[in-house]
Amino acid sequence: MKTFCGRANPTTGSMEWLEEGEDYDYHQEIARSRYADMLHDKDRNVKYYQGIRAAVSRVKERGEKAIVLDIGTGTGLLSMMAASAGADFCYAIEVFKPMANAAVKIVEKNGFSDKIKVINKHSTEVTVGPDGDMQCRANILVTELFDTELIGEGALPTYEHAHKYLVQEGCEAVPHRATVYVQLVESRRMWSWKKLFPVHVEAEDGEKILVPPSEMENCPGVPSVCDIQLNQMPSSDFSTLSDVVTMFSVDFSKPVQSASTYYRVQLEPVKSGKAQIVLSWWDIDMDPSGMINCTMAPYWVKPTSALQWRDHWMQCVYFLPREEPVLQGEKLYLTACRDEYSVWYSLQKAREGESKADEEEHKADVPVESPVCRCRAHLLWNRPRFGELNDQTRTRQYIKSLRKVLKTDSVCLCISDGSLLPVLAHYLGAKQVQCMQPSRIDLYHPHEFFKANHLEDKIKIIEARPELLKPSHLEDKKISVLVGEPFFTTSLLPWHNLYFWYARTAVSPHLASNVTVLPQSASLHMMIVEFQDLWRIRSPCGTCEGFDVQTMDDMIKNSLNFRESKEAEPHPLWEYPCKSLSDPQEVLTFDFTKTVPQHCLSTEGSVKLLRKGKSHGAVLWMEYHLAADISLSTGLMQLSDEQGNCEWNPHCKQAVYFFSSVIESEIQSDPTAVTYAIKFDTKTGEIAMDFKL
């Protein structure tokens, strides 16, 4: 089946029709899947194996046959563990067809075909009975259906159904239980992902303070979970206001209810401060006694030596609906509400001399509604973007550059999504300021923002795409200063923001002959790196706990090479430490003072590997040259130290191109080099690259 999907090209902005058949979807899903990461998660695998062995033994000790139901079998791994542990029969359920097919192959290759039946269905479609998918109900329930938020992948409704229809009463479950932990913290850094802080601008006529509209101030934000590698958050970036508290647990061996509910715990702050954030993670006990425990606890809670790196399970950051000042030792209640798929938090203060009965009364205060953005800004700006807008060092660079180029008679047009630049340009004295947010006019209208700062008459919003700009939009004036951050919500890879160049080209007829374009140019930079851990997500596994899973490796490799188009992928590298093996190198430049050329921009060359290490891939990022000596990097912030450690822009994702084979460089001998060919196709806006080691 072939379908054609229309979408705006993120770089060129033009509409294009892409052929997106079933094949395309599934190759994307496999290529970017977390299966490899799960198979590399030694801690998880070992503990599942221990838990499964223990559950099979308990059933056998009761003199029963061990019949296993493995929901979401993936590669078949957990069923193979059960069969090896002596289970009599396993029903391995997998809804995703390509995975179910792979599971059949892997099970066969490992010699378990007579013990494991792979069923390509969603578990809620599975039937039990003499003619059913399963002959009888199972007495061991094995699953791994958890995401970073525990329940986001639908574990609760799946368990609820399985207990009703697929397993026996009193069955053994692996894992046996999950527990969610929380800790209340104050963190300017994390709070800056949800709120817009006032921006201070030193203008000609005194200091101006830009404030967000009250609707944005009081907005609860979006419900989607904020999952991050909390282990990369330095302890100096937050302050813990409470101990770690158990929020709730789920016993998977008993009937599970998925209906919305809430849990409440009492807290006493260990320190006074501003309660802003709830950090959360979970652990699973593979057995009833809790001896086999697999935890996502961050570094300050558990010894660093016990940390297992994984990307399929991380930690959660929840934003309280509003900031709440709390005092050390005062009595607080933290409430977790959940529906079938997500969790959200609120904080209540206990009133003076409160009794148990009063506590009951609090229940009426519980916000049962999940957070929904009312100000619409949270729909336009994702969390890293909020962080970026709140980055004062960055804002100062723009202010400094704008000051250099703006004059009192400047006619300024700003092209960027949800940008502060129009306001800055106005404060810094431009005569006429207009703005255009090409990709998402529908999502968020900056009018409210301008109004909150009494600028609604001063800054005009042009609701047209760049190619439809008319002289009347500009009051028949020519643009003397064209600015952009550039930032567009449609960008996934760093170079997608080159859309600014295409927009600049489209508005060319409206530019004054001596126009200033800010940024004046951009450049693409590259560096060869060795990842501390990120390499695992794209690296073959071979065998996992003694089971041959090469079929899975081959399948991923095949999907990565689908249409022979290996691509760079976006990753926020502040979360994924790496070591530079080469110097950073500028590979392409894009001159915004000119229009986009007809021909492709390409370059070839080689980079020397200066340090000993494994070349896992190349990292690429953009730098914007705002004015003569002012540049902003969306990638490397700080040149690596002696050991090659690097500091990355905390608000941006960088592009990572994983090499298909890894080379180990030994600089003592001949320094090795990596040759590259990089081509920017100005028609498609895509960057193709090839590396030879």
What does the binding site for ligand SAH look like in residue numbers (CB under 6 A)? 38, 71-75, 77-78, 93-96, 99, 122-123, 144-145, 154, 158
**Three-class SS state of 339:** coil
> Whole-number minimum distance, CB 616 to ligand SAH, in Å?
23
Compare residues 175 and 446 and give the one whose CB is closer to ligand SAH.
175
Radius of gyration of the chain (CA): 28
Using DSSP, state whether 468 is helix, strand or coil: helix
SS3 247: strand
Q: Is 292 exposed, middle or buried (0-12, 13-18, 19+ CB in 10 A)?
A: buried
Residue 639 CB-density burial (10 A; 0-12 exposed, 13-18 middle, 19+ buried): exposed
We find the least distance from the C-beta atom of residue 622 to ligand SAH, in angstroms, to be 35
> Residue 188, Cβ neighbours under 10 Å: how many?
13
The minimum distance between CB 434 and ligand SAH, in angstroms, equals 49
**Buried residues in 601-618 as b, exposed as e (16+ CB within 10 A):** bebeeebebbbebbbbbb
Cβ-count burial 648-684 (b if 16+ within 10 Å, e if not): bbbbbbbbbbbbeeebebeeeeeebbbebebbbebee
- CA–centroid distance for 111 within its chain: 38
Tokens for 476? 């028949």
Question: How distant, in Å, are the alpha carbons of 423, 426, 432, 453, 477 from that of 457?
Answer: 12, 11, 11, 11, 18
Interatomic CA distance for residues 502 and 61, integer angstroms: 71
How far apart are CB 40 and ligand SAH at their closest, in Å? 11
Closer residue to ligand SAH in complex, CB, 166/527: 166
| Residue 154 or 367 with smaller CB distance to ligand SAH | 154
Query: Helix (H, G, I), strand (E, B), or coil: what is residue 476?
Result: coil
Which helix (H) or strand (E) covers residue 379, if one does? helix 377-380
Residue nearest to ligand SAH (CB): 72
State the minimum distance, in angstroms, from the CB of residue 151 to ligand SAH: 12
* Residue with Cβ nearer ligand SAH (78 or 90): 78
Least distance (Å) between residue 123 CB and ligand SAH: 4
Residue 567 annotated in active site: no
**Given 29, 94, 125, 144, the catalytic residue:** 144
Tokens, residue 582: 């080469």
Which CB, 241 or 541, lies closer to ligand SAH?
Answer: 541
Closer Cβ to ligand SAH, 122 or 396, answer by number = 122
Burial of 537 (0-12, 13-18, 19+ CB in 10 A): buried
CB of 106 to ligand SAH, least distance (A): 11
Least gap, CB of 8 to ligand SAH (angstroms): 30
Nearer to ligand SAH by Cβ, of 82 and 99: the residue is 99
Q: How many Cβ atoms from other residues are within 10 Å of residue 428's Cβ? A: 22
| Beta-bridge partner residues of 333 | 266, 348
Q: Least distance in Å: CB of 291 to ligand SAH? A: 20
Nearer residue to ligand SAH within complex by CB, 94 or 285: 94
Catalytic residue among 20, 108, 153, 340: 153
144 is catalytic: yes
Alpha helix (H) residue ranges in 92-227: 97-109, 155-165, 188-191, 214-217
Residue of 491, 581, 495 lying closest to 535 (CA atoms): 581
User: Which residue in the block uniquely carries the two structure tokens 């499964």?
Assistant: 52
- Nearest residue (CB) to ligand SAH, 148 versus 183: 148
Q: Which residues are catalytic?
A: 144, 153
